[in-house]
Amino acid sequence: MDLVATRFAPSPTGPLHIGGIRTALFNWLFSKNNKGKFYLRIEDTDKDRSKDIYKSQIIQSLKWIGIQHDDKEYIQSEKIVKHKEIANELLKKGFAYKCYCTENEIAEQKAKAKKMGTPFIYNRKCRDSKNLKITENINPVIRFKSKISGNAIVKDLVQGEINISNSTIEDFIILRKDGTPTYQLSAVVDDHLMNISHIIRGDDHKINTFKQKQIYEAMKWKIPEFAHIPLIHSSDGKKLSKRDSTSNLSEYIKIGILPEALRNYLLRLGWSHKDKEIFSLEESIKYFNLSGVGKSPSKLDKVRILSINEHYIKNMKEKDLYKNFKEYCQIHKKKIDGNLENKIMNSMYFLKNKAKCLEDIYKNAEYIIIKELNINPGDHALIDDNSKKIIKDFNEKIKESKKFDKGFLEKCINDLIEKHKTNLKGVGQPLRIMLTGSKFGPGIYDIILSLGKEEVEKRLNKLS
């Protein structure tokens, strides 16, 4: 078998959305599974809408989730000369023809067809040279001579056999009147030039396959395998749009979704391997195949992304988690003070316990990070005179202590429970409020130890 080569070919006309990232992931995984190549091709032939900023954003996004492409990215616009060459060759060989119909003319036909409720395809007026009326001031487009009769079949690796009548495929444009190639032509020429063996893309491209296949056949080029994967829908069942914030990668990065968690989620969206839910990177490469890809579209589910992220947070080494967290804070929250780093790192084991994302960890750790606590007024009201006595007693006790560890604190608090004839809640709650500003939070011993003796005293001294 020839070398497997796949590609991901986005156009740099906007940020990559989550569906695009999944397509890239499937391509990448498939090539890795087959020990093949994976290329990135930037389809920037729409000069008006393509922006460099999007190009680098796309590369950034892929890098973030851990997909790296082989070789340098392939820039489609650099190959335009070659594309034109092929268009002219098709023209010369009689597979294509010049069309002088004006855009207005076409628009009129289209409007009429719509009014009559009949399907529109270009009427092939210029296909027959007898009808050719060459007007001096009109630059022609070049159209491909599509098959008129018979049926075409594509054997799709995901969809199975797709059978379509050739009469529904129009004579599509391969070269615009300004002489630039269109997508249908460029994609085929590039895929051929790049020796792409498997084209894995969203099933919105399914019909294009029938156009593109005819170009391959005319050029007598080897036709690659096709796999059209179902699209991802938004939670309300509609097509994922760029305006939908849940489709945007930056939304997930902003709340602190880990790249490996999103990768795992995307992998399982539309693909499965028995009952397995969690896949390491190595496992996803090992198990990924096209036969595991389903045929029906799936909905994006943020709750599930969060839950997978939680799994990754819980199972990550604390050192690595802290590294991620530190970086996250620096970019999206506030930079962690150098003298707090150790405190937070050593507290990671409990700060992560209630977190589904890095933003949650930040919220949990905020009482350490923030210098001036804002005590929730409602919570503050819970500190009655008796509680104040307890806090004072506690503060006295720790002042004289030499050892500041859990054993000491347990004894300390148990003594106070006995002395004030209360329970753990009676001591724990007021302390928690004074130390964190809220009655909700981590275990009281964790809080005290994470702040350290000095900081605890400082905070308790503020009691009035």
Partner RNA sequence: GGUCCCAUCGUCUAACGGUUAGGACAGAUGGUUUUCAAUCAUCUAAUCGGGGUUCGAUUCCCCGUGGGACCGCCA
Where in 220-279 is the site for RNA (CB under 7 A)?
230-231, 233, 237-239, 268-272, 274-275, 277
Residue 133 zone, left/alpha/beta (φ > 0; ψ -120 to 50; rest) = beta
Where in 349-368 is the site for RNA (CB under 7 A)?
353-354
CB of 225 to RNA, least distance (A): 17
66 in Cβ contact with 263 (< 8 Å): yes
Closer residue to RNA, CB minimum distance, 56 or 330: 56
Closer residue to RNA, CB minimum distance, 49 or 462: 49
Contact map string, positions 40 to 79, toward RNA, x by CB under 7 A: ---x-xx--x--------------------------x---
CB of 338 to RNA, least distance (A): 28
Closer residue to RNA, CB minimum distance, 205 or 254: 205
Amino acid at 131: N
Q: Check binding of 162 to RNA (CB under 7 A).
A: yes
Where in 283-312 is the site for RNA (CB under 7 A)?
292, 294-299, 301, 303-304, 307
Q: Buried b / exposed e across 335-349, counting CB within 10 Å, b at 16+?
A: ebeeeeeebbbebbe
Nearest to 203, CA basis, from 275, 278, 293: 293
Judged by CB under 7 A, the residue of 83, 127, 198, 432 near RNA is 432
Q: Check binding of 23 to RNA (CB under 7 A).
A: no
Q: Residue written as tokens 């056999």? A: 161
Closer residue to RNA, CB minimum distance, 67 or 126: 126
Closer residue to RNA, CB minimum distance, 12 or 224: 12
Q: List, as own/partner pairs, every contact residues 399-404 make where C-beta atoms lie below 8 angstroms and the sequence separation is at least 24, other chains included.
A: 399/457, 401/453, 404/449, 404/452, 404/453
342 in Cβ contact with 369 (< 8 Å): no
Where in 411-430 is the site for RNA (CB under 7 A)?
423-425, 428-429
Where in 382-411 is the site for RNA (CB under 7 A)?
none
Q: Check binding of 15 to RNA (CB under 7 A).
A: no
Contacts of 127 (CB under 8 A, 6+ apart): 97, 99, 143, 145, 171
Judged by CB under 7 A, the residue of 27, 34, 159, 248 near RNA is 159
User: Distances from the Cα of 174 to the Cαs of 99, 186, 210, 325, 375, in angstroms?
Assistant: 11, 8, 14, 50, 68
Q: Check binding of 112 to RNA (CB under 7 A).
A: no
Closer residue to RNA, CB minimum distance, 49 or 335: 49
Judged by CB under 7 A, the residue of 125, 206, 333, 397 near RNA is 206
Contacts of 90 (CB under 8 A, 6+ apart): 96, 142, 144, 174, 215, 218, 219
Q: What is the rounded distance in angstroms from the CA atom of residue 350 to the CA atom of residue 361?
A: 10
CB of 103 to RNA, least distance (A): 4
CB of 403 to RNA, least distance (A): 20
Judged by CB under 7 A, the residue of 36, 73, 80, 120 near RNA is 120
239 forms beta bridges with 233
CB of 53 to RNA, least distance (A): 17
Q: Check binding of 117 to RNA (CB under 7 A).
A: yes
CB of 208 to RNA, least distance (A): 5
Q: List, as own/partner pairs, every contact residues 384-387 make where C-beta atoms lie below 8 angstroms and the sequence separation is at least 24, other chains included.
A: 386/420, 386/422, 386/426, 387/426, 387/429, 387/430
Q: Residue written as tokens 């890239």? A: 24
Q: Check binding of 341 to RNA (CB under 7 A).
A: no
Closer residue to RNA, CB minimum distance, 327 or 440: 440
β-pair type (173-175, 141-144): antiparallel
Count interface residues toward RNA (CB under 7 A). 84
Closer residue to RNA, CB minimum distance, 48 or 454: 48
**What are the tokens at 347?**
């507290």
